[in-house]
Amino acid sequence: MKKIRRTLLIFLLLLLAGGGFYFSHRKGNTTPISAQEIHLNTLVTVTLYGTDRTELLDGAFALCDHYEKLFSRTLPESEIYRLNHGEISEVSPETSELIQIGLSYGELSEGAFDISIEPVSSLWDFTSGNAVIPDEKELAEAVALVDYRKVHVNGNTVTFDTPGMGLDLGAIAKGYIADRIKEYLKKEGVEHALINLGGNVLCLGDKPEGTAFRIGVQKPFGESTETLTICPIEDQSLVSSGTYERFFQKDGRLYHHILNPKTGYPYDNGLTAVTIRSDDSLTGDALSTTVFALGEEKGLELLNRLDGVEGFVVREDLSIHKSENF
């Protein structure tokens, strides 16, 4: 695994890849220690305050390794890959748990969010730069295989009603892993930490001086240092999903990675981003995609009904429209 290791590093507006957040750190009572590695095809950064135990950074990244071998759609030895290819039906309790959570968001969104999108998502490539649109017939055949209601979990056994179905946990895996890292650090006695999995930001406590972490949300399609707004968080999570994260353009049209399970093509609903603030990162991860999929009206209605979460949508004109309690 490629490693980018920088310990005893003071952060000042450290730009991070993925969901477009950067962090403004001020020196507290002790110098923070930090490290970065590449996991799940994204830059993972963990910053600890008030401790010099660098082995805790190693432990955090070991968790990333562990869960990547469970949840990755593309890693041949992962449980999800083997499940999708018919090699296994029995999975670990962690994988079973995450699948069930993913299916619950399918119910919540009435299928707008669907983790059985793998037959469709595997046809798209937003990272190579080739800008290839899948064949229309092949895409239609893949769409016919997408239906979260045809995925069944019985204990740790996962079955599909139709051969060729598959799961893609990419919209929720990073949030789940961030939460597990936070649990680990808290158990080890860490009181102040900042975790970022490709833009899934989660903090443990507040900053050592007693103030909130101020998280800058990147301006969609702007320069990497341009902020749309700044959100304070204390012992909370901030997650954004947007069309600017992974995309390509062809024939004057933008194609992005948030795919409509009903059509197989990217959602085209006038939104360019959604940001969710919540107590845990898994909730923020799932809801940022769910709200985007539902669109502005239904998405904000959902946020207004849920307890303990808040957020805002960003239209293509970059105007911000917030939930009632944000």
Residue set of the binding site? 171, 285, 289
Q: Phi and psi (nearest 5°) for 68?
A: -65, -35
Partners of residue 46 on adjacent β-strands: 35, 195
Q: What sign for the dihedral angle of Cα 125, 77, 60, 193?
A: positive
Rounded to whole angstroms, the Cα distance separating 293 from 241 reads 10
Cα atoms in the 13 Å half-sphere on the side-chain side of 42: 25
313 to 67, 88, 202, 272: CA distances (angstroms) = 30, 39, 20, 8
Q: CB burial class (10 A; 0-12, 13-18, 19+) of residue 307?
A: exposed
Task: Count other Cβ atoms within 10 Å, centred on residue 173.
Answer: 26
Annotated binding site for Mg(2+): 171, 285, 289
Rounded to whole angstroms, the Cα distance separating 57 from 3 reads 12
Copy the structure tokens of residue 308.
């303990």
